[in-house]
Structures are given as C-alpha cells and as structure tokens.
C-alpha cells in the first residue's frame, strides 16, 4: 500500500483506486480459499490410513482461537475508528492489540500443529494431513502477512508518519484483516465443527 | 484522491463492542449445539445459519460493506458467489453430500 | 510520507532519468511496458513456433525418428505452454497496456508500478518455465499436466514439471496483478462522460478478461500448489496409494482452464470489433449485443468446464448438464459473428492488412466454433477426445482466432506507437501465406482425428494411412513459418524507417487513441477529453448534413507540434524489477531443491529476501515522487 494518496485525481466512481482494488483482491482470494476448502471436503473421509480428524481435533481449544481472531477484528475496527477521529494514541493501542491477538492466534495454531504431528498427522501422512495443513497453513500465512502489515503501521505511527489523512491505509489493512477472520469463520465451521459429532461420540 | 468521507454515520465504538459480544455469543452457541444430541439431525443447517450470520455481520459492519458504495459489494459478491458455486458444484460432482 | 531518500547513496535513490536501457528497466509508463510485452511475446511466439515446426517435421512421415519420444513429449508440452502463457496472453496484455488507457482518455493505468511488476514477473517467469530445456529436461506431461503422471515417481526424472508448477505459479501472480490493475483502471479512470456503454468494445473485452483473470487464476494456483507440494514435500494430494484422486486435479485445472480460453479469445474479439467498423466506414452493428454477449460468455464460461472431461466417467447427468451449458455458450459467439457481418454489410470496405486479418478471424473462428459445437455433444466427443480432431479445433480457434485477431491489432495500432506504417504489400503477403499455411496445416487434422489418429504420439505406423495428410500438414506449418518470417522482416524494415509526424489517425479511426499524436506524448492527452457518446472521436470529425450524408467537420489547427506541457507523471521505480525477479528466483530455487538442496534453497531464500526488500521498499516509496512529507 502506498503511503499517501496522490494529488487530487478524481476517479470515475469517486472511490479511491486502492480501495476498489482491495475489494477486487478480496473477491479473488475467496476463490483461492474455496479451492483449498474444496480439496479438503472432497477428500474428507477418504484417507486410506489415519489419523483421522475426529481422533485429533480439540473443539474447545479451537473455539478459543476462533474467539481470539474474532476479538482481533474488534480491535482492528477500533483502530480504524481511532485514526479516523485523529486519536493516534488509541490507534497505536488497538493496532498493537490486533497484532498481539493475531500472534496469539498464530501461536495457538503452531501449538495445535505440533500436537497433531506428535499424534501422527503429517503433511505427508495421508489426505487429511495434506489437505488440512495446506489449508490452515495458507490461512496462517495470510495472518502472518497481516501482522507484519499492522506492526509496520504501528511503527510508522510511533514515528509520526501516519496521519489522519492517511486513514485509508488502516482501512485497507482492516479489510484484509477482517477477510482473514471471515475465512477462519468458514474454516472453523466447515472443517472443525462438522467433525465434532464424531469427536464426541 | 482524497478519501471519500461518508456522511453516513459509522457505527460508534460502543456498537462495535456490542457486535463483538454478539459474535462471541453466536460462536459459543455454535460450539454448544454440537454437544446437544437432540439437535444432531439439523446440526449442519444450524451451524450453517450461525456461521453465515457471523460472516454477514463481520462483512457488513466491520468491513463496512453495508454502508459503502455498492460497487464494493459487487466486487466481493462476484468472488464469493463464484467461490460458493464452484465448491458446491465440485461437491455434487464428487457426490459429497455433507 | 517518504523514506529518507535524500540520505541514501545515489545509486540507491529513486531513478529520475530515462536514458537507454535503464529507462526501460525502471519505467512505469504503460506504453513502454506494452512495447516490452509485445517484443517479449513475439520472441516467445517464435520459440513456440520453432517447437511446432520440429513437432510437425517429426510427424511428417510414418515411423520417423527425428526426435525421441521423450523429447517429443517436451516439445508438445512446451509448445502449448509457450503459446498460451508466454505468447497469446502477453500479447493481449500488451494491447491492454498500449490501448486501454488511450481509449478511456487516461494518462496511465491505476497502478503503474504494479503494471511494471506484471511485466518483470512475466519475463523472469517465462525463463523459469523454459529453464528445463537446459537443465535436464523441460515439462513433458502435456500442458494440462494430468495427475498422477506429473508426480515425481511416475515422471521422467527431470525437473521439467517442477519448472512447470512453480513457473506457472509465478506467472499467475503476474496475471492476477494485471487483471486487478486493469479492472480498477477501467472502472475508475475513464474520461468524464465515458459511461460503461460508451466504452470501446476492446476496452469492454479487456474488462471482462480482467475479471476472468482475477477469478480463475486462484483455482489453478491451488492445483499447482498441491502439485508442487506433492513433488517437493511429498504430500499426498494426487498420490494414488493414499487415495489421491486424479479427478481432483482435472476439475481444478479445467475450472481454471475453461475461463482461460475465454481469456485467450475475448481480447482478439475486442480487436476485431475495433478494426471492422474502421475499415467498413460504418459503426459497429449492434454494439449493446456485442457487449452483452461478451458478458454472457464470461459468465457462462464458468459453467462448462467439464466438457473437457466427458470421457472420465462423471455419469450421464453431469455429462448432459455440461453438454447443455456448452451448447448454450455457442449462442453469444454466434450473436457476435452476425453483428460483425452486419457491420461489414453495406459498408465501404477497405481491404488493408488489419482488415484482412479480421475477416480471416471471422472465417476461421466460425470453423473452430463449429468443431467446438461437435465437441459439446458427449457421444461425438467420445470419438473425438484425444484425437487430432481436438487439435484442429484448438488451432482454428486459437490460431485462426486469437493469433489472427492479434495480428490484425498489430497492423492496426502499429502506427500509433511507432509513427511508422508497416509495409502494406508485405502485410498482404503475410496474410495470404499465413491463411493458406494455417488451413493446410490444421484443416487435415479434422479428418485425421476422425480417422482415429491420437494426440501426443511421437510417431505412427504407415499402415494407418495417415502419412499423406500429415505431410500436407507439415508443409502447411512451413508456410506458416515463412509467413511469420515475412512479418518479422516487415517489422525490422519498418523499425529502421524515419518516424513520421502525420500518422496520428492513418485509418480515419473512431476511438480516442487516434485523437492524439503518433507516437503519443508521455502524458497521452494534453487535456483529458470530455466524452459525449460512443465513438466520440468520430463525432468530432464527421457530422451528418440535412440530406443525411456524412460530412467532415473542419478541424482546427493541429496541436501535434505544440510545446511540451508540464504534466507530471508517475515516478520511475526499480522495485518492480527487483520484486519480479525475486519471485522467479524463489520459484527457480524451489524447483531445483530436490536435486540441488543447498543451491536451490540458497537461491530460493535470496529470491524471497529480494521479494520482501522489493515489496517493502515499494510500499515506502511514494506513488508520486514529488510528494514529500
């Protein structure tokens, strides 16, 4: 994201080019994740050997990480609200909070993955391992990029280089961040929760 | 170009927090229903409704799509609808009827 | 906000000069980027053509031994990949770059540096894709790379398929970036008064193509990621023993693959829609119908993909569904063809070279479309699948269609960007030879296919009786090659000529690009035009008098030679080339990782570092170099 809108070019729609592009990119990314989710669902129940999802999924644990990511969306939108009001202190607080929550999520993912590997689920082990780790891995990669972007803006703000006029940058970062969150809403339901009956019974 | 600033009111910080609380409750509900045996015949549709609900709320309010120019909705919907369509078509073709 | 650019050593500072090669390396000007795309794509077109000539020579005689089966597999795989991803698509993007901003009255695209990035990824990615030729073997499993043949354990042992999967992944980034860029440009940077229904058809087709690019490419991205992970990290996506399903690859590939063929043809259809009215001296017949047909094609293109899979056993319901959707998608193309014919009907036709190629397009695309309709029916497709009948279809639509359309555009728009005219006589020779060669080469493939000649065989026995028509087909391919050389000669001769100053509007065009000097100044338009209707430029030149006759409007003094105006343009940057080559380097490193662990990983890491440095530096570089905070 460039750091500053160029001199007053008017656009056909009156909307900023970068915001139009971000929404188009998000539309495109829907297909990226849909293909990964498709692969997972098409292979569900078809692994020739275990371990199987219901043997390793920990629904309460994953619910907590889903909750963490949802809260990070709250802090993200509060950060945007802050810079739109010109409140730089709150901007920094909420940006930092969002990044921390993002890192907590990532830490939780890392821990979950190590447990799974310990229990015999590997990328190379079976269809479940391959499709699960690839899907959640790419989601995690998206979260990581998001944290890097948010922390970059945090540092820029600390240096006095992020003005109220530049709030679009935070808005764009927010759109990206919320998108990553809604992808997790889908993953949480479609990958984890539907296994829950098998896990419990 | 200078950011088009909405004359439409944004939700206030308090509203965002309320939305977050609602999202948390729905998430808790989602987790709860999988433990309720009586609901298992309708589990999938129920989970579907709850998660779609969360999805719409985050997109509409946090991503501000409800209040923004409809072009953004068009761009997002194009990708989303194609995505859901492809996923559904593949599941039908592979006879995976979740 | 600007990084502390002033404190950097001079060679790391943002470039401000344009001289020589450096000017091209750091350019963000859509016109220069368009020229780079065109020359690189023509180079790869020649590479793909050479591969084709070798293929045809091998097939000219029964039981021929010119090349081994292994090399033959690489030839047909790389021929297709090169033509599709390194020739046709980049030529289309070249036109988007050169023409779209001019047709909408803009000074550049929405994101000039991203535009440059797309080009540098294309160039470096194209090199990665072809690296196999000198590094142990190029991709050899067909361009559609059906799993599990593409897995390491079933392959020929070379890295060709790694260059394939990682090379295409990187090229995909180029395409998505370009698609996003043009989508935003066309939506958001049109001149005042240019509503969507006043846009030229070429720009409309560019818009639809851009939407297809950003939605279809993610699907093949996942397929390629899964293939790469299988090959490099040993995941099980397509491993038969683990339950990996070959159909997963096929579906993911063709969900992309079918919109891809519309990505290949819509730009050419756009070009034809510009050339025909200009050389018929008539407005395009049925403009709204052509636009809506294009939209319908883009939309329906998502509903037909499994017609590539009629023979895999999806069952009668799936087959019937896709048969119906496929037959349906023939309708909007038919609508376009009738509208093009309607455009020429009653017009005053000027048979210049651009027009010859556009008329040739219509004729040849109809033939390709008809064979396509016969594919749409599963029972007939069962006989045609994997035979030369399909090869005939492909080449009539892609060569007779896309390539002829592209040549039409090259001859048409050449004067705008060079200030010279390609030689008309050589152009006619090029057209006649290419038309004859094309039909001689691909026509016989229809009945060779119906007679049962399979695709992708390196030779065949004389007892099948296929030799005669194969020889004819090979002669046709040599004629195509000669015609291409005629074109190249034309280009070289013309490039040596003096630039003229009177070629702003050599064809009496209808659209805005003809309203500015040839070649255009850096800023394109001295003043952004105000648009009042379709073909707005034409309306500034002609009006109808009381008798309904077209009369020219007296033009004011041409301001072609006025003094330079101080319009400032987006700044130059070296971050796109760094980021672009960084991405391809990482792809290359990962591709050779299995065999050369250390070297591969080192290159990959260096590539990733370059990508991050390039991207990060880019983010902190103001879009506009005169902004300082």
Q: What string of DSSP letters covers C278-289?
A: HHHTSPPTTHHH
Task: Give the nearest partner residue to B86 out of C211, C214, C255, using CB atoms.
Answer: C255
- CA–chain centroid gap for A31, Å, is 15
- Percentage of residues of chain C with pLDDT beyond 90: 84
Q: Does B5 score more than 60 pLDDT? A: no
Chain B within 8 Å of C255 (Cβ-Cβ)? yes
Which positions in chain B touch C255 (Cβ < 8 Å)? 86, 90
Structure tokens at C252: 């993911």
Q: Does C273 score more than 60 pLDDT? A: yes
Q: What is the pLDDT of residue C426?
A: 98
pLDDT digits (tens, 9 = 90+) for C240-262: 999 999 999 999 999 999 999 99
Which of residues C184 and C22 earns the better pLDDT score? C184
Q: Does C2 score more than 70 pLDDT? A: no
Contacts of A28 (CB under 8 A, 6+ apart): B79, C176, C180, C214, C215, C217, C218
pLDDT digits (tens, 9 = 90+) for A98-134: 999 999 999 999 999 999 999 999 999 999 999 999 9
Residue B4 pLDDT class (50, 70, 90 cuts): very low
Contact at 8 Å (CB) between C395 and C467?
no
Contact at 8 Å (CB) between A35 and C218?
yes
Q: Does B70 score more than 70 pLDDT? A: yes
Across the interface, whether the CB atoms of C306 and B78 are under 8 A apart is answered no
Q: Does A140 score more than 80 pLDDT? A: yes
Task: Give the nearest partner residue to C318 out of B71, B86, B93, using CB atoms.
Answer: B93
Residue B10 pLDDT class (50, 70, 90 cuts): low
Q: Does C216 score more than 50 pLDDT? A: yes
Q: Does C626 score more than 80 pLDDT? A: no
Stretch (H or E) spanning C469: helix C467-495
Q: How many CB pairs under 8 A join B and C?
A: 19
Among the residue ranges B38-52, C197-211, C293-307, the one predicted with the least confidence is: B38-52
Q: Does A31 score more than 70 pLDDT? A: yes
Which of residues B68 and C8 earns the better pLDDT score? B68
Q: Does C33 score more than 70 pLDDT? A: yes
pLDDT digits (tens, 9 = 90+) for B31-67: 999 888 888 889 999 999 999 999 999 999 999 999 9
Q: Does C628 score more than 70 pLDDT? A: no
Chain C within 8 Å of A28 (Cβ-Cβ)? yes
- Percentage of residues of chain B with pLDDT beyond 70: 88
Q: Does C564 score more than 80 pLDDT? A: no
Q: Does C582 score more than 50 pLDDT? A: yes
Q: What is the pLDDT of residue C565?
A: 57
Scan for tokens 């749409």, then name that residue. Answer: C376
Residue B9 pLDDT class (50, 70, 90 cuts): low
The minimum CA-CA distance between B88 and chain A, rounded to whole Å, is 8
Which positions in chain C touch A3 (Cβ < 8 Å)? 1-2, 619-620, 622
Q: Which residues of C are tagged catalytic?
A: 79, 108, 143, 174-175, 258, 260, 262, 273, 307-308, 333, 336, 455
The minimum CA-CA distance between B93 and chain A, rounded to whole Å, is 10
Neighbours of C583 (CB within 10 A): 27
Probe site for chain B from C217, C302, C310, C319 (most B CB atoms < 10 A): C302
The minimum CA-CA distance between C365 and chain B, rounded to whole Å, is 29
CA distance C171 to C190: 28
**Residues 144-183 (A) with a CB less than 8 A from some CB of B:** 165, 167-168, 174-175, 178-179, 181-182
- The winner for highest mean pLDDT among B40-44, C390-394, C541-545 is C390-394
Q: Which fold has domain A17-200?
A: 1.20.120
Q: What is the pLDDT of residue C9?
A: 61
Chain A within 8 Å of B25 (Cβ-Cβ)? no
Q: What is the pLDDT of residue A57?
A: 95
Residue C3 pLDDT class (50, 70, 90 cuts): very low
Q: What is the pLDDT of residue C19?
A: 76
Q: What is the pLDDT of residue C550?
A: 79
Contacts of B95 (CB under 8 A, 6+ apart): none
Across the interface, whether the CB atoms of B62 and A178 are under 8 A apart is answered yes
Provide the phi-psi class of A120: left if phi over 0, else alpha when psi is between -120 and 50, else beta.
Answer: left
Which of residues C629 and C133 earns the better pLDDT score? C133
Q: ipTM of this model? A: 0.94
Q: Does C356 score more than 50 pLDDT? A: yes
pTM, whole model, 2 decimals? 0.94
Domain residue spans of chain B = 10-67, 68-98
Contact at 8 Å (CB) between C387 and C450?
yes
Domain residue spans of chain A = 17-200
Q: Does A19 score more than 70 pLDDT? A: yes
Task: Give the nearest partner residue to C215 out of A31, A47, A134, using CB atoms.
Answer: A31
pLDDT digits (tens, 9 = 90+) for A55-92: 999 999 999 999 999 999 999 999 999 999 999 999 99
Alpha-helical (H) ranges within chain A are 17-43, 53-56, 59-85, 88-118, 127-158, 167-187, 196-200
Q: What would the 3-class secondary structure string for C140-188 be?
A: CCCCCCCCCCCCHHHCCCCCHHHHHHHHHHHHHHHHHHHHHHHHHHHHH
Chain C within 8 Å of B78 (Cβ-Cβ)? yes
Q: What is the pLDDT of residue C570?
A: 82
Q: What string of DSSP letters covers C42-88?
A: HHHHHHHHHHHHHHHHHHTSTT--SS-HHHHHHHHHHHHHIIIIIII
Q: Does C624 score more than 80 pLDDT? A: no
Chain C within 8 Å of A12 (Cβ-Cβ)? yes
- Percentage of residues of chain B with pLDDT beyond 90: 73
């Amino acid at each position: 994201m460039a750091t500053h809108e160029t001199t007053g070019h008017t656009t056909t729609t009156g909307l900023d080019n970068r915001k139009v592009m971000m929404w188009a990119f998000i539309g495109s990314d829907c297909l990226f994740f849909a293909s990964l989710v498709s692969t997972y669902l098409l292979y569900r129940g078809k692994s020739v050997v275990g371990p199987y999802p219901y043997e390793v999924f920990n629904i309460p644990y994953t619910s907590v990480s889903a909750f963490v990511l949802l809260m990070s969306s709250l802090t993200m939108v509060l950060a945007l609200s802050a810079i739109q009001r010109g409140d730089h202190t709150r901007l920094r607080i909420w940006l930092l909070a969002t990044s921390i929550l993002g890192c907590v999520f990532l830490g939780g993912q890392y821990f979950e993955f190590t447990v799974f590997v310990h229990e015999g689920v590997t990328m190379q082990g079976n269809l479940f391992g391959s499709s699960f780790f690839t899907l959640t891995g790419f989601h995690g990669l998206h979260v990581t990029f998001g944290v890097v972007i948010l922390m970059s803006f945090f540092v820029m703000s600390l240096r006095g280089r992020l003005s109220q006029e530049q709030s679009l940058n935070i808005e764009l970062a927010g759109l990206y961040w919320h998108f990553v969150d809604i992808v997790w809403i889908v993953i949480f339901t479609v990958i984890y929760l539907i296994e829950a009956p098998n896990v419990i019974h | 170009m200078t950011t088009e600033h909405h004359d439409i009111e944004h939700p206030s910080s308090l509203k965002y927090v309320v939305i977050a609380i609602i999202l948390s409750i729905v998430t808790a509900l989602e987790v709860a229903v999988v433990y309720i045996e009586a609901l298992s015949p309708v589990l999938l549709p129920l989970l579907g409704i709850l998660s779609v609900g969360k999805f719409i709320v985050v997109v509409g309010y946090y991503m501000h799509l409800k209040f923004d120019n409809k072009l953004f909705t068009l761009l997002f919907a194009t990708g989303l609808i194609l995505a859901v369509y492809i996923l559904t078509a593949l599941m039908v073709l592979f006879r995976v009827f979740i | 906000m600007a990084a502390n650019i002033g404190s950097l050593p001079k060679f790391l500072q943002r470039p401000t000069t344009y001289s020589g090669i450096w000017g091209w390396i750091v350019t963000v000007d859509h016109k220069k980027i368009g020229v780079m795309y065109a020359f690189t794509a023509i180079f790869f077109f020649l590479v793909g053509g050479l591969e084709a000539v070798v293929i045809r020579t091998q097939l000219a005689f029964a039981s021929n031994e010119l090349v081994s089966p292994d090399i033959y597999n690489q030839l047909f795989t790389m021929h297709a990949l090169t033509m599709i991803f390194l020739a046709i698509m980049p030529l289309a993007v070249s036109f988007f770059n050169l023409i779209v901003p001019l047709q909408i009255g803009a000074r550049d695209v929405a994101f000039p540096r991203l535009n440059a990035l797309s080009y540098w990824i294309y160039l470096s990615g194209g090199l990665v894709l072809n690296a196999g030729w000198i590094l142990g073997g190029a991709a050899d499993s067909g361009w559609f790379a059906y799993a599990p043949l593409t897995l390491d354990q079933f392959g020929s042992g070379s890295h060709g398929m790694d260059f394939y999967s990682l090379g295409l992944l990187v090229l995909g980034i180029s395409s998505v970036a370009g698609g996003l860029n043009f989508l935003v440009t066309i939506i958001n940077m049109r001149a005042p008064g240019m509503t969507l229904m006043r846009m030229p058809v070429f720009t409309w087709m560019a818009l639809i193509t851009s939407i297809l690019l950003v939605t279809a490419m993610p699907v093949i991205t996942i397929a390629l990621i899964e293939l790469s992970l299988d090959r490099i990290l040993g995941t099980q996506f397509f491993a038969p023993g683990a339950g990996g399903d070959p159909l997963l690859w096929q579906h993911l590939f063709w969900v992309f693959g079918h919109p891809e063929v519309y990505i290949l043809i819509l730009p050419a259809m756009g070009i034809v829609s510009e050339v025909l009215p200009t050389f018929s001296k008539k407005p395009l017949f049925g403009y709204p119908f052509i636009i809506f047909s294009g939209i319908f094609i883009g939309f329906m293109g998502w509903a037909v993909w499994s017609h590539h899979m009629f023979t895999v056993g999806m069952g009668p319901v799936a087959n019937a569904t896709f048969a119906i959707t496929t037959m349906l998608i023939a309708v909007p193309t038919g609508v376009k063809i009738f509208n093009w014919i309607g455009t020429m009907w009653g017009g005053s036709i000027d048979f210049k070279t651009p027009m010859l190629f556009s008329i040739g397009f219509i004729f040849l695309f109809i033939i390709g479309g008809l064979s396509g309709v016969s594919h749409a029916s599963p029972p007939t497709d069962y006989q045609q699948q994997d035979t030369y009948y399909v090869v005939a279809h492909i080449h009539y639509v892609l060569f007779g269609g896309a390539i002829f359309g592209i040549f039409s555009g090259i001859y048409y728009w050449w004067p705008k960007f060079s200030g010279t005219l390609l030689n008309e006589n050589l152009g006619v020779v090029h057209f006649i030879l290419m038309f004859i060669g094309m039909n001689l080469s691909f026509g016989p493939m229809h009945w060779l296919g119906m007679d049962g000649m399979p695709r992708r065989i390196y030779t065949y026995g004389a007892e099948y009786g296929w030799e005669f028509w194969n020889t004819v087909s090979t002669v046709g391919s040599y004629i195509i090659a000669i015609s291409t050389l005629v074109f190249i000669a034309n280009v070289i001769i013309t490039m040596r000529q003096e630039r003229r100053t009177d070629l702003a509007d050599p064809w009496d065009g209808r659209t805005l690009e003809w309203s500015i000097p040839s070649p255009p100044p850096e800023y394109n338009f001295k003043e952004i035009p105000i648009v009042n209707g379709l073909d707005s430029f034409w309306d500034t030149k002609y009006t109808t008098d009381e008798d309904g006759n077209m009369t020219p409007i007296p033009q004011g003094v041409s301001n072609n030679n006025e003094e330079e105006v101080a319009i400032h343009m987006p700044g130059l940057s070296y971050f796109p080339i760094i980021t672009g080559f960084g991405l391809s380097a990482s792809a290359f490193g990962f591709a050779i990782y299995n065999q050369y662990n250390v070297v591969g990983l080192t290159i990959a890491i260096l590539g990733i570092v370059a990508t991050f440095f390039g991207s990060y530096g880019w983010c902190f570089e103001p879009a506009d170099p005169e902004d300082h905070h």
